[in-house]
Structure 1
């Protein structure tokens, strides 16, 4: 049976408040493989949007943005399920090692072609007439390039950029050392980790997991799955290292 469009007024996204300043989003009608988490963090002086979903529906109207307040959208890496709505934001940041791909969003880097090839990419259509074969990611050239150790200041938080390669060679995380908060993208999450793509490196992933074993965290918000704490983070890292 062919999927039907969402009823009028129903959002393509789910919106899950975590605390007064942090909201998680996902796209429940996507194929499981491409269903990712992305986040809106309100800061005193600067809001952060961390990753941006597939881009099948507009994201910005759903965000509780303050008129005139700056917003920085940060992509943890350039894969389709994290950059689809990045073009909706005027200020865009991402990892140096993948920076060139954001300007054109080619299939080789984003894997959008794999989404188009799925037999069942969505369980509902994001809009009447939407067709999988037409799916493309709009270019979103970076306005800020991020490297290991860079700082992102929101006014009430400081995030340090961590290079966490393995899933892809450009993967980064955002770490608030004072609070123990880590946005990890696809470097680590509580589900099956993917390390067998052309842009993956198991050697890099092992180094990332060893680094995460020593990282003090309170909570990890990953690119997929549920959030988790330090004990689970260390278990995931150890399990990966033992398998490898």
Structure 2
């Protein structure tokens, strides 16, 4: 498997693309947005950067020209891999220190995740040489910040829960909500030691109440999800609370079009002690 097989590019509109990594076991997505400056030149942002198994620069440069900045939804390993190519990045203040990510991940776990099911490591990729990107952000984001991208404007919405510095980006003019790992149509991970269920619920309800959303663009799995998904996730939280199950260690709970992983009792105990996936493999 080579470079050309690792990425799939699809157009959202004439100035917005989704770049997918289908060989990630949960099909990662990141996004390229192009705006136009008054002088006709392009301004660009990437929302997340994927795994970074290959350089993403040739792909991005085939789609646009001009400077490229990065807006991170959060700093988990499968969202920051391409920062080596585009180190001008912004992240929420709660995750500004990449030396201490909210979810440490080792080579041992990376090998397991990257090769499970139908995923396979690409030809020429040296897992042992793969290192997490560590640098200072060029911009620290706060809730409500607005980011200009040429003639386009994004709003940063702090949505902690899955991750302390989780951010959704909303583009009111086009109705796009870039939801990262907070909302998507598969298994939602809320079991990690850095996940906060109260914040997760609050964030989902905040997004569910957001007016003007015409399309949700998620960080993983199916791109075909309805704008009612935040409401349905909130309803699932209500269901779990009514059953006394809205707490870590109660397992995985399946609903129509998504599931919520609150972890097994063993996962809860091990992650609380170690803060690392490695404990789950012992």
Which residue of structure 1 lines up, in the alignment, with residue 31 of structure 2? 39
How far, CA to CA, are the matches of 2:206 and 2:153 in structure 1? 20
Find out whether 1:223 has 2:215 as its counterpart: no
Q: 1:59 to 1:140 in 2, by over 3 A?
A: farther
Q: List alignment gaps of at least 5 residues for structure 1.
A: none
Q: Do the aligned partners of 2:48 and 2:80 also contact (CA within 8 Å) in 1? A: yes
| 2:127 equivalent in structure 1 | 132
Could you tell me whether the CA contact under 8 Å between 1:148 and 1:162 is conserved in 2? Answer: yes
Normalising to structure 1: TM-score of the pair? 0.85
Shift in alpha-carbon separation, 1:119–1:81, aligned structure 2, 3 A: closer
Structure 1 or 2: larger strand share? 2
Q: Do 1:169 and 1:199's aligned partners in 2 also have CA atoms closer than 8 Å?
A: yes
Q: Distance in 1 between matches of 2:101 and 2:147?
A: 29
Cα RMSD of the aligned pairs, angstroms, is 2.2
- The change in CA–CA distance for 1:181 and 1:118 in structure 2 (over 3 A counts) is closer
Structure 1's 233 and 170: CA in aligned 2 closer, same or farther, altered over 3 A? Answer: same
Conservation of the 8 A alpha-carbon contact between 1:87 and 1:140: no
* Structure 2 counterpart of 1:164, from 140, 159, 168: 159
Deviation at 1:213, TM superposition (A): 2.0
Farther off after superposition, 210-219 or 160-169 = 210-219
Q: 1:84 aligns with which of 81, 85, 106?
A: 81
Deviations 1:35-67 (A, max 9, x none): 311000111132110001111001111014544
SS of the aligned residue for 1:109 comes to coil
Aligned residues: 231
Match of residue 194 from structure 2: 199
User: In the alignment, what sits opposite 1:70?
Assistant: 67
Please, what TM-score do these two structures have when normalized by structure 2? 0.74
Partner of residue 233 from structure 1, selected from 230, 234, 237 = 230
SS at match of 1:37: strand
Equivalent in the alignment of 2:49: 52
How far apart in 1 are the matches of 2:202 and 2:93? Answer: 19
* Deviation readout 1:5-63 (Å, 9 max, x if unpaired): 43xx7342111112111111121223x14x31100011113211000111100111101
Asked if the contact 1:47–1:154 (Cα under 8 Å) also holds between the matched residues in 2, the reply is yes
Larger Rg: 2
Runs of 5+ consecutive residues of structure 2 not aligned to the other structure = 38-42, 241-245, 247-282
Alignment partner of 1:28 is 2:28 = no
How far apart in 2 are the matches of 1:57 and 1:119? 14
